[in-house]
Chains A and B, each alone.
Chain A
């Protein structure tokens, strides 16, 4: 048994898995990772079950240290500089921290949340089947709150498995896709304004909700409706006309009209959008949204097959360029281009 020690930590860092289900009728929200694809990819890199608990990393610097034995970890999600004693460590790969070694994580450059998985998962007491932190409800394990300096996570001692990399499909670009409703009829022309405007995520956003900044979306009949149920991605519009997209720590019910809902497939991509960066929404049909849902489920299931040993085909582009491979261009089907390698001379 080893430990992973929290030596330094970004705000907004907490243990998250796929969340806890079945008690929303009692006001208990599922919580869980903001970017489920990245969380599952981190687990796939280590041979964990796809939805094992990981550390959801906030966007600033963090340091984690292995103690009492080696700890094998992987990193996915937001791109950021990372190193172990000065040796760079890439996103979407695994690495083993020797006892006493530290992983230094820099500030996120693209995206908001990173995912740090640990081989064998995190040891804790599941509550309603989940270790996910929900600080308001006092739930989560090993700590029912975001991580703090000095916390010690009990984890398995590293196996001798080869280090891995995962080949993920190119990130989806373009507008965040939504299905209109359930209360889109509370908005008239404002629906078109909502779909045709640039939006930015406010810096005051958190895991409960992302506040949007853009044009004022006006209600037809006022902003108070009788509370009804919410889902991850519900886009509610309060009195000031600035929408709030509900995130995994949302309230289970809300009393503002909901103009649309972000499709499940785009929740992670939306959650990774950095504050201040402009984006748009696009309405799609239910049939399209559910086809995307199926494709996303297939993508999740494909993750273990996208993991490869990282020492095979580790093409280092800079090294290739400096070796001037391109200067000896050959075609395997054209004898005339076969040339003897030139002596390394003037170019060096």
Chain B
């Protein structure tokens, strides 16, 4: 006997979007329900739905109110959200190479000091994690991963940096992230990857999907430089190790 699913909260995000909220906290089960609802909405062929944005704990559904009102869509989404979850099947898994420390990861030493371990141990723990893309957001390709080992969790920086390099791999709170474009960040920078999670002119433009599994692999600076040139020319660099 499977426990009945609790109904999500149907929250208005203005007059043309609904937030379907499963949890207020970061919660693996809630994220599974978000991603399952995302697939169900896509396959339900709801003409009024224009696009969906899965996040850790909620699914944002953009819709055209000329075609369907808030109450009717809210009921439909609740109905879909209460369908039994599909069997958890193996997600596709990417191996993402990371050059840790040095210029590529300027916070590695400080993170090691804060955790009272060596920088090598920080790298070993980060590489040892089993991650999942919980959501992609903020800027193109910025992938938020769940699964950071509990022994690496620390609060964000007091002073966010206004500019961090493209490809930055960082940790913040209970998350780790793969950042694609240069931009501001309040997280601790551990390294860089040559992988472009977003690249115009490449097929696909966006490499990672919410729900994908991720493994990190440490590479040296020379390999990073070679991979960076290959990635610039359109190579994935990330390796699909299960699909």
Chain A interface residues toward B at CB < 8 A: 21-28, 127, 136-139, 179-183, 225-234, 251-254, 258, 261-264, 286, 289-290, 292-294, 297
Contacts and interface: CB of A to CB of B under 8 A. Distances in A.
Given A25-B136, A252-B137, A264-B16, A181 B55 contact: no
Interface string B23-54: 11110000000000010000000000011111
Contact of B65 (A226, A254, A262, A293): A293
B86 interface: no
10 contacts: A21-B51, A26-B206, A27-B141, A138-B181, A181-B19, A227-B144, A251-B137, A251-B138, A264-B15, A294-B65
Contacts, number: 143
Nearest to A290: B65
A227 B55 contact: yes
B132 to A, nearest CB: 15
Interface of B: 11-17, 19, 21, 23-26, 38, 50-60, 62, 65-66, 69-71, 135-142, 144, 181, 183, 198, 200, 205-206, 210
A267 B208 CA distance: 33
Contact of B200 (A138, A232, A289): A138
Most buried by B among A137, A252, A254: A252
Contacts of B142: 27
Contacts of B138: 27, 227, 251-254
Nearest to B14: A261
Contacts of B139: 27, 136-137, 251
Closest 8 CB pairs of A and B: A229-B60, A253-B137, A261-B14, A182-B11, A289-B15, A229-B53, A26-B206, A182-B19
Nearest to B59: A229
Contact of A22 (B12, B51, B135, B210): B51
B54 A231 contact: no
Nearest to B204: A26
Contact of A231 (B13, B55, B71, B136): B13
B57 to A, nearest CB: 5
B12 A27 contact: no
B67 to A, nearest CB: 11
A21 B49 CA distance: 12
Contacts of B54: 25
B12 A228 contact: no
Contact of A293 (B13, B15, B144, B200): B15
Given A293-B15, A294-B65, 7 more contacts: A24-B60, A27-B142, A181-B11, A229-B55, A263-B14, A286-B12, A286-B15
Nearest to B58: A228
A258 B183 contact: no
Contacts of A286: 12, 15, 70-71
